[in-house]
């Protein structure tokens, strides 16, 4: 006898006994004298197969079928009836019965249909166990992916932070300038309602855009008089160096074109590649105007900062020359020039090195995580950041 259980539900004692005798050598056979008895005993017995008479003294077999299927949808039910019809078979199958046999039944037919029912029950168990194992493996994989994403995010954060601190130690102005440009980029991108993923890329690019100045001689960076042609050529090489540095960090390498192009000009007279107009990555165009606004609002070793009205006048003068016209209009319409100008006086808004880790943690977002902007926002973003027809 195997471990499989068969529940026989019939209100005729002779039928029950006949079935028990036929099956007892192969299965654990449990008897129920009517529908109510079967329903009451089913949760405890938990059979693999139920042989269910359709015409019981206390209720119809279909009612019993519905009840036990609600307890265990995978149990295999074989209907036993003396009044078989196509309608009965259809209804039984529709309600989840495995098969049916008619009275008086052939012993071999009964044994065969029960064996098939047991086999199907085992296949269902195996499928369920396999599915559960797959779901468990999938959950484990999801957890591992999340852990890996967290490790990558932490690595990126720590890498950017270490590089920025190296620049700050090498040249205090350049390091603090990067943090101020980060603040401007963050505020300007929010003013334009850019998606979170684009905001993240811009903030990271702002932090690392001047890393190449680590490779520029200190006497050139701090020179108070006019630069020679050789000095200027050396200084103008820093976007290339910045791009080369971050190209070696896999998680930052996609920012290299932005960083390399942040000194390109809308009219094509910038450096290092002489790109013009929409040849320049739109993120680099955003970075360029924020970079220039902060440079004009702060004191440099070779000049004092410009008055606020002069900064606005210079942006208007460079509209369509150094900067994309739409970005100039947006910058002038915002309050950011005034705010960064005041920040240079008070230091209130200028970001401190210890704040960078928090900012980098906030930028740990993937494009898939970012909700799509609504139609109006999407049209505005496309108008500002893609070539015009």
Tell me, yes or no, whether 318 lies in a domain. yes
- Whether residue 298 sits in one domain with residue 204: yes
Whole-number pLDDT of residue 354? 61
Do both 234 and 300 map to the same domain?
Answer: yes
The verdict on residue 330 lying in a domain is yes
| HEC assignment per residue over 99-150 | EEEECCCCHHHHHHHHHHHHHHHHHHHHHHHHHHHHHHHHHHHHHHHHHHHH
Q: Residue 209 to residues 134, 262, 288: CA-CA distances in angstroms?
A: 45, 8, 10
d(CA 323, CA 181): 16
Give the pLDDT band (50/70/90) at residue 387.
very low
pLDDT digits (tens, 9 = 90+) for 134-165: 888 888 888 888 888 777 767 776 777 777 77
Residue with tokens 């490790």: 151
Q: In what order do the strands lie in the sheet with 76-81?
A: 28-32, 5-9, 49-53, 76-81, 99-102
d(C-alpha 73, C-alpha 54), whole Å:
19
Rounded Cα distance between 89 and 98, Å, is 10
CATH number of domain containing 108: 3.40.50.2300
Roughly what angle, to the nearest 10 degrees, separates helices 282-297 and 172-191?
120
User: HEC string of 292-343?
Assistant: HHHHHHCCECCECCCCHHHHHHHHHHCECCCECHHHHHHHHHCCHHHHHHHH
Q: Which residues pair with 323 in a beta bridge?
A: 319
- Average pLDDT value for residue range 298-308: 80
List, in sequence order, every residue forming a beta bridge with 32; answer none if it has no partner: 9
Same domain, 203 and 254: yes
Structural domains counted in the chain? 2
Sign of the Cα torsion 159, 165, 168, 174 reads: positive
Residue 57 lies in a domain: yes
Residue with tokens 């090195």: 353
The answer to whether the CB of 85 falls within 8 A of the CB of 113 is: no
**Residue 289 class from Cβ within 10 Å (0-12 exposed, 13-18 middle, 19+ buried)?**
buried
Number of H helices, E strands in the chain: 17, 5
Phi, psi for 245 (deg, rounded to 5): -65, -50
Give tens-digit pLDDT for 278-297.
999 999 999 999 999 999 98
Is residue 354 assigned to a domain? yes
Q: Give all strands (DSSP E) within the chain, no chain letters.
A: 5-9, 28-32, 49-53, 76-81, 99-102
| CA dist list (Å): 356 to 76, 142, 204 | 63, 29, 10
Of 103, 130, 157, the domain-final residue: 130
Do 117 and 193 sit in the same domain of this protein? Answer: no
The pLDDT assigned to 175 comes to 67
Q: What span, in angstroms and rounded, lies between the C-alpha atoms of 385 and 88? A: 68
Q: Are residues 380 and 245 in the same domain?
A: yes
Q: For residues 249 and 369, state if they share a domain.
A: yes
Angle at 120 between CA 114 and CA 125, to 5 degrees: 125
Indicate if 25 and 121 belong to the same structural domain.
yes
What is the residue range of 316's domain? Answer: 171-385
Rounded mean pLDDT, 324-352: 85
Cα–Cα distance measured from residue 218 to residue 183, given in angstroms and rounded to the nearest whole number: 26
Least confident of 155-159, 221-225, 229-233, 371-375: 371-375
Any idea what the CATH number is for the domain that residue 299 is in?
A: 1.10.3210.10
Final residue in a domain of this structure, among 130, 163, 183: 130
Nearest to 306 by CA among 330, 337, 263, 352: 337
- pLDDT above 80 for 22: yes
Out of 102, 130, 158, a domain closes at: 130
| Residue 146 maps to a domain | no
The answer to whether residues 372 and 269 touch, using CB atoms and an 8 Å cutoff, is: no
Q: Tell me, yes or no, whether 39 and 97 share the same domain.
A: yes
pLDDT of residue 214: 81
Is residue 275 very low, low, confident or very high in pLDDT (cuts 50, 70, 90)?
very high
In terms of Cα–Cα distance, which of 43, 38, 34, 7 is closest to 117?
Answer: 7
Query: Both 197 and 330 in a single domain?
Result: yes
CA–centroid distance for 86 within its chain: 52
Whether 153 is in a domain gets the answer no
Q: Which residue has the higher pLDDT, 67 or 55?
A: 67
Could you tell me if residue 142 is inside a domain? Answer: no
* pTM strictly above 0.85: no
Q: Are 184 and 94 contained in the same domain?
A: no
pLDDT for res 347: 65
- Residue 351 has a pLDDT of 61
Verify that 125 and 178 share a domain, yes or no: no
pLDDT digits (tens, 9 = 90+) for 92-118: 777 788 888 888 888 999 999 999 999
pLDDT value of residue 367: 44
CA separation for the pair 121, 75 (Å, rounded): 7
Average pLDDT of the chain is 83
- In angstroms, the first-to-last Cα distance of the chain is 81
- 207 in the same domain as 329: yes
Between 196 and 267, the higher pLDDT residue: 267
154 within some domain: no
């Amino acid at each position: 006898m195997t471990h499989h259980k068969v529940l026989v539900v019939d209100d005729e004692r002779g039928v029950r006994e006949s079935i028990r005798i036929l099956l007892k050598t192969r299965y654990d056979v449990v008897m129920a004298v009517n529908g109510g008895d079967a329903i009451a005993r089913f949760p405890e017995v938990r059979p693999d197969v139920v042989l269910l008479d359709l015409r019981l003294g206390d209720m119809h077999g279909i009612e019993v079928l519905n009840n036990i299927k609600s307890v265990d949808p995978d149990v295999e039910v074989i209907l036993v009836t003396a009044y078989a019809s196509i309608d009965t078979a259809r209804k039984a199958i529709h309600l989840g019965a495995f098969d049916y046999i008619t009275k008086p039944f052939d012993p071999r037919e009964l044994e065969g249909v029960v064996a098939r029912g047991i086999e199907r029950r085992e296949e269902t168990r195996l499928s369920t166990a396999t599915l559960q194992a797959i779901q468990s493996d999938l959950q484990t994989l999801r957890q591992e992916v999340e852990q890996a994403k967290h490790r990558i995010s932490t690595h990126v954060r720590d890498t950017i932070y270490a590089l920025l601190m190296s620049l700050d130690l090498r040249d205090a102005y350049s390091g603090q300038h990067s943090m101020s440009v980060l603040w401007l980029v963050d505020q300007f991108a929010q003013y334009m309602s850019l998606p979170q993923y684009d905001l993240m890329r811009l903030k990271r690019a702002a932090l690392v855009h001047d890393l190449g100045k680590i490779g520029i001689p200190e006497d050139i960076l701090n020179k108070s008089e006019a630069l020679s042609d050789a000095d200027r050529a050396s200084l103008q090489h820093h976007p290339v160096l910045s791009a080369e540095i971050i190209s070696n960090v896999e998680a930052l390498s996609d920012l290299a074109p932005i960083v390399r192009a942040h000194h390109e000009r809308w009219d094509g007279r910038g450096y290092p590649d002489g790109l013009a107009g929409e040849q320049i990555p739109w993120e680099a165009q955003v970075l360029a105007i924020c970079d220039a606004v902060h440079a004009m609002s702060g004191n440099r070793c070779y000049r004092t900062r410009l008055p606020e009205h002069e900064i606005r006048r210079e942006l208007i003068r460079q509209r369509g020359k150094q900067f994309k016209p739409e970005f100039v209009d947006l910058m002038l319409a915002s309050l950011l020039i005034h705010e960064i100008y005041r920040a240079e006086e008070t230091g209130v808004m200028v970001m401190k090195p210890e704040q960078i880790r928090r900012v980098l943690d906030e930028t740990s977002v993937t494009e898939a995580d970012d909700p799509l902007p609504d139609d109006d926002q999407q049209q505005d973003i496309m108008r500002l950041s893609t070539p015009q027809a």
